[in-house]
Structure 1
Amino acid sequence: MSAWMNATTLLHGGCAALYAALTVLIFTQARLSRTGTLLAGACIVTAGWAAAAAMASHAPFGLIAGILDLLRPAAWCVFILHLYRRAVKSGRQRGQAFMMMGMVAVLVASVMLLLGRVSPGGAVSLWSIWVVGRLGFAVCNVLLIENLYLNTPEDARWHINLPCVALGALSVYDIALSGDTLLFRQISPALYDGRALATAIVAPLLAIAAARNKPDWDVNIHVSRTAVFHSATLVVSGIFLLGLVAAGEAFRYIGADWGGVAEVSLIFAGIVTIAVLLTSRSARSHLRILLVDHFFSHRYDYRREWMRCIATLSAPDAYVALHTRVIRALAEIADSPGGVLFLRERDEAAFQWVGSWNMPAAVAPVMDDHPLIAAFRDGDWIVETAPVVPDLSGAWLAVPLNHGGHLTGFVLVAPPRAAFKLDREVFDLLRIVGRQVATYVAEQRATEVLLQTRQLHEYGKRFAFVAHDIKNVSSQLSLLLSNAETHLENPEFQRDMLATIRASVQKIGALIKRLQAPESQISQAVIMPGQRLEAIVANCRRLRGAAVELEQDGRTAGVAMAPPAFDAVVTHLLDNAIEAMREAQAGEPVRIALRHEARRALIDIADNGPGMTPEFIRDELFRPFRTSKPDGSGIGAFQARELLREAGGDLLVTSRPGGGTTMRLLLPLVEAPAPQAATATA
């Protein structure tokens, strides 16, 4: 007896928990209609009955369980009747009157049966009323479900199949239990406990029915497709293993000598078979399509599909190239194992192969006049390739990539792992995802074009810088040539001329190397700006005969900058200062001052020339190819500032009309400045 009570408690308690969870889902995830309210009410009554039955050994739960056991089929009867009125047109409800008459007949029969069981003392058997009442409601439910199914059009039966099966099975079980009770004058413990298990078994069917009928029932219960798939997989696997066990028992019964071996072998083979099927994408695809076709109103879980698509497209390029991700995003929607991507630029006459996923690369391009392009209808139509373009072997569907009203490409999708019927839902989803994919492709192309433009810009900037430096070298050589006519016989001039030519050749070689190598590959070096300034000033005095004064603060510290770049910046700014002094006919020298601060070096190149207006400095000085000099290139100041900024520094300008100009070079130090014994002035 104790074991029976334990089984009764466990089974009915589990059933109560299941229907309580279903009720919570209905109330928390939906704005209930009348149908949803009746469904939730029937679930509440069922959960209450199961909970009371689980504690029936404790008063007063036994009495409550008996009352709710009678109300439970009545609640489902009300729900079925309401569903019947919603699902069947008013002109086809001819069975409703008969059902009401049947319910009255059941009540009359119950009373008659009750009168026949009156005791001699005149007491009425409440137990008989309870049993007959349950039997009457069960019979009414079966008849009502039969009328509901028969009077529903065939194309609409898909919506009521599951509730009819679930509630019909429960009603038949109730009839069997009540009949057995009346026949043997006692409740069968096995049938009583089995009813709780049967009630729990049909709960998922009711949940799925509510989920796929939510547009009509207004009950927004979400049944996870993944959970349904995994549950179905477990059920199928369990049935398969039970069949193998039964076969093994049969072998054992037939042949005692080898029956045990056959049973073990069958079970092992079955486990291996199940493992193979579970790891087979084709088998899982067939099962998924079977579940989708029979348990869900929509083929796709759109939230899951959209999140998967975005995750596939936005994966880092380090793992999978964009072309492969584009194909996968579209192919996986159709459960396809592969595909091919074709793209074209706006000015191209054909679509070129750019990538494949689990399919061979296409050698021949697809021309604009190909039948497939016309079948796309300006990029808004999914094409089944077999009847349109039989030359594209291995392809099943062609999905256009439409971006901004232009057909930028298409994806050829391989046949699916498990065949299914193509409908508008599949085409619409592929069309929408195709447009999203086209946006990603266009974004990558724009990024590539921007990168190429930036590379060309960097090359053009280097070329302009090199051309400007070559102009400076040419000016030095021209000045050297003009002085050679006067001082060629002077041995000291000859030595200076050879040194200048040698330095010019080295500088031109460095400029050519700089033009060929990217800016990032030009090696930086730690230089002492004081030493470089001394050499530049000495060279300027020797070649140009200009008056230049160099003043240093007596400290030394290195800066990280390529020596040719540093020399080019200082030489250009110094030449500009000399030209400004000559233009103003000022007799004062150009002054260069080197000072060190805590973390940077400051180099001032000052002249007393005509100066510049603030507007000129703001709008013209650092703008490429803008110059006020007849033979200028307009690139020098811009180049000087860019080279300093690449070294981590900057170029500041202080000037006023008629008051001269000071160009301040700022460069970060790479080591702390150390004091020097004496101040060097040149």
Structure 2
Amino acid sequence: MDNILSFGLDKAGFVLAAVAYLFFFGLLLTTKVSNLPKYLLLALSFTSFCWAVFYSWTSALPFTSLSSHIIENTKNVMLLLFLLAALSKANNSFSQFIRQPRVFGLLILFICWSAISGSSLLSASNVFTGNLAICILQLALLEALYRRSGEAKWQYKPLVLALTITTLYDFALLAESALFGRIDDQIWFARGFVYAAMLPFMIIAVRRIKAWGINVYISRDIVLQSSLVLGAGVYLCLLAITGFYIRYFGGNWSNLIQATFVILGIATLIFLMLSGTLRRKLKVFIEKHFFANKFDYREKWLLLTRSLQKIDITGPEDHYKSLLQAWLNSVSYSRGAIIRFKGNDMVTLALQQRPELNSDEQQLLAAYRHNFSNRNWLVDLTDKSDPFVQNAIADKVLDIQLIIPIQTKGSLWGVCVMNAPAVNKLSLNWELRDFLTLVSEQISSQLLLMQASQTLSENAQFIAFSRMSAFVVHDLKNVKAQIDLILKNAAKHRNNPEFVDDSFSTLAAMQQRLQNMLSQLTNKRADQQTNTLVSVGRLVQDVIDNRCAIRKPVPTLFIEQDCTVYIDKDRFSSVLFHLIDNAQHATDLQGTVTVSVKEVCDQLQLSIVDTGCGMTESFIRNRLFKAFDSTKGNAGMGIGAHDALSFVEQQGGQLTVSSKPGQGTTFMLLLPLNSAVSLAEHPEKIIQGM
């Protein structure tokens, strides 16, 4: 019984791991993908299976015997080979893969390491430390594999997660072992369970992954992140080794000194990892020494495009500042300004982390404008070989490194000036010059678009104000017509009390109408609509009596069935007057103008029929409802029919026209009666004509 319990504690985890990897190996055999990464993963799975069987069968701890050295090193090298293959071209053959210098060198290194670690030349702590370095290399490759998987990241995530967890566990085991010179039994016993627990992730990965080859593009950010991970791993290794020797030679104070040293070392590592200055310097170092180009142009161009897309040129925000920020980000600079030349003056449109231009900088830009007004020339003030720089910057206080022109229509519109901390400054070679020229052209187009949008917005405001003024003038004509009618009838009916009362009522209505028009002009907005229940028959009669009776022929009204509508009375009255007045203008004195009101299929049908000159189909189609197109010459504004059509359509109705030249015209207005009520039910709510 004790033997069974002992076996369960020591071996059960490795037995489970062996079963898990055997199952995973079988699943891999069922996949249809046939390339180098898959076969190396098969080899890794089989090696891991053998590794788990070995430790479930023997009681040896890792790196304590030659066989354990061989099985551990074989498993490690298979994992590294798989990761390198996944980061290489998918169609590589095994021979092409092996002939790669990094792969061939890795194999030679592992053969030497296996020979050295399997002998007695190194102490146990040194062996553990060497394998700890292998774990760091595996973690760096896993991190690179995950970051470069791109759109396939969802597929690779379970596989990378499983391998990362097992590698991190080995890292912790080896770090503790390197520190104390021995393997902790409890941590070792759990190793098999950790590997077995990764089986679900492995199965998910096999089901997700469609292809094992990743077309690798190593970006600067990936190299930077991988370098930080690798550097942190090396730092932790050194920290563990130093802590071990402190404990070994520290005597009675060894535990205290070791704990203090480890905590301070980890705090230093965290500080360095979070240091923006360190990251910038490392990134610049990598870009200078490991890449042929200064920029990842695909990334920079996408960043610029997305930044420009976020600028809403129709909004009230300061677009120039957003534009400057996008420009600076395109070359990773932090300070700058956009300056526009207007005549002999300079106007600062945007500033970023810098003050206004001082007198020296203004003189410099004036000299630049004088020398390069007709040339699209970028200037780097750190380039002492440039004749302009030699003459222009002597004894001047300048917060400028780059001067980038903004050209529009072949002339110098303005400039963008940039500067950055010394660690981020770039020399203006042909590569940077071409890139900044391209960016400058893109942003110049955006500037022109912003200016055009601003001009269009201002013009739209003027057009809207002019349009509103035209309607006001048109309404003033209506008011004048009412005043003319009062004056015409005053001589005849001045002693009639009813005429006097009607005149005062009409004047009060005109005064309110004038007040509304002044309000529209003052507030630069159209008058808000006020809907009420209106008796259509009575309103038409009122329009005829008080506004249209001054002109011959006087319209005749036929009310077959009166209707009420919920509508803006003043606006509806104005529309009716426009249509009837137009009919009167088109009809000679012997002709007739007839207005009829009736209800048809829950709709108000109001017809205005004249026997005038009529209109052609072409005129109705192309000119009748066109704003500011009048046949009355200076006497008309050309907005009556246009306003009538717009108002009817706003009410959900229709305005149709039928006409024949020489015979007359019929305007038919249809309005829904959804809100209509009978005159008998709500007589007190019906607004009558004056």
- Report the TM range for the smaller structure's normalisation: 0.5 to 0.7
Pick one of 50, 70, 73 that aligns with 1:8: 73
The question of 1:438 aligning with 2:444 is answered yes
Which residue is 1:579 aligned to? 585
1:358-406 CA distance string (max 9 Å, x none): 3335598969971232465646222224644686742322222334434
Paired AA for residue 410 in structure 2: G
1: CA distance between counterparts of 2:642 and 2:435? 53
Q: Secondary structure at the match of 2:79?
A: helix
1: CA distance between counterparts of 2:215 and 2:451? 42
Which residue is 1:21 aligned to? 86
The question of 1:414 aligning with 2:380 is answered no
Pick one of 634, 637, 658 that aligns with 2:638: 634
Structure 1, unmatched stretches of 5+, are 28-39, 47-74, 77-162, 212-218
Shift of 1:307: 0.9
Moved more, 14-23 or 453-462: 14-23
Which residue is 1:607 aligned to? 610
1: CA distance between counterparts of 2:345 and 2:482? 55
Pick one of 597, 611, 625 that aligns with 1:622: 625
The question of 1:498 aligning with 2:504 is answered yes
Which residue is 1:223 aligned to? 218
The question of 1:372 aligning with 2:375 is answered no
Which residue is 2:475 aligned to? 469
Q: Secondary structure at the match of 2:621?
A: helix
1: CA distance between counterparts of 2:514 and 2:433? 64
Query: Residues 25-424 of structure 1 correspond to what in structure 2 (within 5 A)?
Result: 25=90, 27=92, 42-44=95-97, 46=98, 75=99, 221-252=216-247, 255-256=250-251, 259-315=254-310, 317=312, 321-343=318-340, 348-361=343-356, 370-374=366-370, 376=372, 378=374, 380-385=376-381, 387=389, 388=392, 393-416=398-421, 418-422=423-427, 423-424=429-430
2: CA distance between counterparts of 1:595 and 1:603? 9
Structure 2, unmatched stretches of 5+, are 1-53, 56-61, 63-67, 149-213, 383-388
Aligned-pair identity (%): 25
2: CA distance between counterparts of 1:379 and 1:245? 61
Q: Secondary structure at the match of 2:295?
A: coil
1: CA distance between counterparts of 2:628 and 2:373? 49
Cα 1:260–1:376 shift into 2, 3 Å = farther
Q: Secondary structure at the match of 2:632?
A: coil
- TM-score, length basis structure 1: 0.66
Paired AA for residue 505 in structure 1: Q
Paired AA for residue 231 in structure 1: S
RMSD: 4.4
Which residue is 2:21 aligned to? none
Moved more, 283-292 or 9-18: 9-18
1:251-271 CA distance string (max 9 Å, x none): 545654655444434443444
Moved more, 380-389 or 296-305: 380-389
The question of 1:549 aligning with 2:545 is answered no
Q: Secondary structure at the match of 1:298?
A: coil
Which residue is 2:154 aligned to? none
Paired AA for residue 336 in structure 2: G
Cα 1:275–1:315 shift into 2, 3 Å = farther
Which residue is 1:652 aligned to? 656
Shift of 1:7: 0.8
1:52-72 CA distance string (max 9 Å, x none): xxxxxxxxxxxxxxxxxxxxx
Shift of 1:241: 3.5
1:173-194 CA distance string (max 9 Å, x none): 767988999999xxxx979x97
Cα 1:556–1:273 shift into 2, 3 Å = farther
Cα 1:181–1:547 shift into 2, 3 Å = closer
Q: Secondary structure at the match of 2:277?
A: helix
Aligned 8 A contact 1:244 1:270 in 2: yes
Shift of 1:170: 6.6
1:496-535 CA distance string (max 9 Å, x none): 2222222222211111122233446624535536254343
2: CA distance between counterparts of 1:363 and 1:418? 25
1: CA distance between counterparts of 2:632 and 2:336? 62
Q: Secondary structure at the match of 1:470?
A: helix
Pick one of 660, 667, 671 that aligns with 1:663: 667
Shift of 1:460: 0.6
Cα 1:523–1:287 shift into 2, 3 Å = farther
2: CA distance between counterparts of 1:593 and 1:230? 82
Paired AA for residue 8 in structure 1: N
2: CA distance between counterparts of 1:628 and 1:493? 35
Cα 1:273–1:448 shift into 2, 3 Å = farther
Cα 1:674–1:272 shift into 2, 3 Å = farther
1: CA distance between counterparts of 2:534 and 2:85? 83
Which residue is 2:594 aligned to? 590
Q: Secondary structure at the match of 1:585?
A: coil
Cα 1:589–1:299 shift into 2, 3 Å = closer
1: CA distance between counterparts of 2:132 and 2:494? 122
1: CA distance between counterparts of 2:116 and 2:492? 136
Which residue is 2:9 aligned to? none
Paired AA for residue 10 in structure 1: K
Cα 1:23–1:501 shift into 2, 3 Å = closer
Cα 1:605–1:14 shift into 2, 3 Å = same
1:431-450 CA distance string (max 9 Å, x none): 11111111122222222222
Q: Secondary structure at the match of 2:294?
A: coil
Aligned 8 A contact 1:596 1:673 in 2: no
Aligned 8 A contact 1:584 1:609 in 2: no
2: CA distance between counterparts of 1:539 and 1:455? 36
Aligned 8 A contact 2:407 2:414 in 1: yes
Q: Secondary structure at the match of 1:409?
A: strand
Aligned 8 A contact 2:595 2:606 in 1: no
Pick one of 528, 547, 551 that aligns with 1:522: 528
1: CA distance between counterparts of 2:373 and 2:470? 49
Shift of 1:461: 0.7
Aligned 8 A contact 1:350 1:367 in 2: no
Paired AA for residue 270 in structure 2: A
2: CA distance between counterparts of 1:366 and 1:616? 62
1:156-203 CA distance string (max 9 Å, x none): xxxxxxx6x98678768767988999999xxxx979x97995998899
2: CA distance between counterparts of 1:389 and 1:521? 61
Cα 1:307–1:326 shift into 2, 3 Å = same
Q: Secondary structure at the match of 1:229?
A: helix
Aligned 8 A contact 1:385 1:392 in 2: no
Cα 1:257–1:524 shift into 2, 3 Å = farther
Q: How many aligned positions are there?
A: 530
Paired AA for residue 382 in structure 1: L
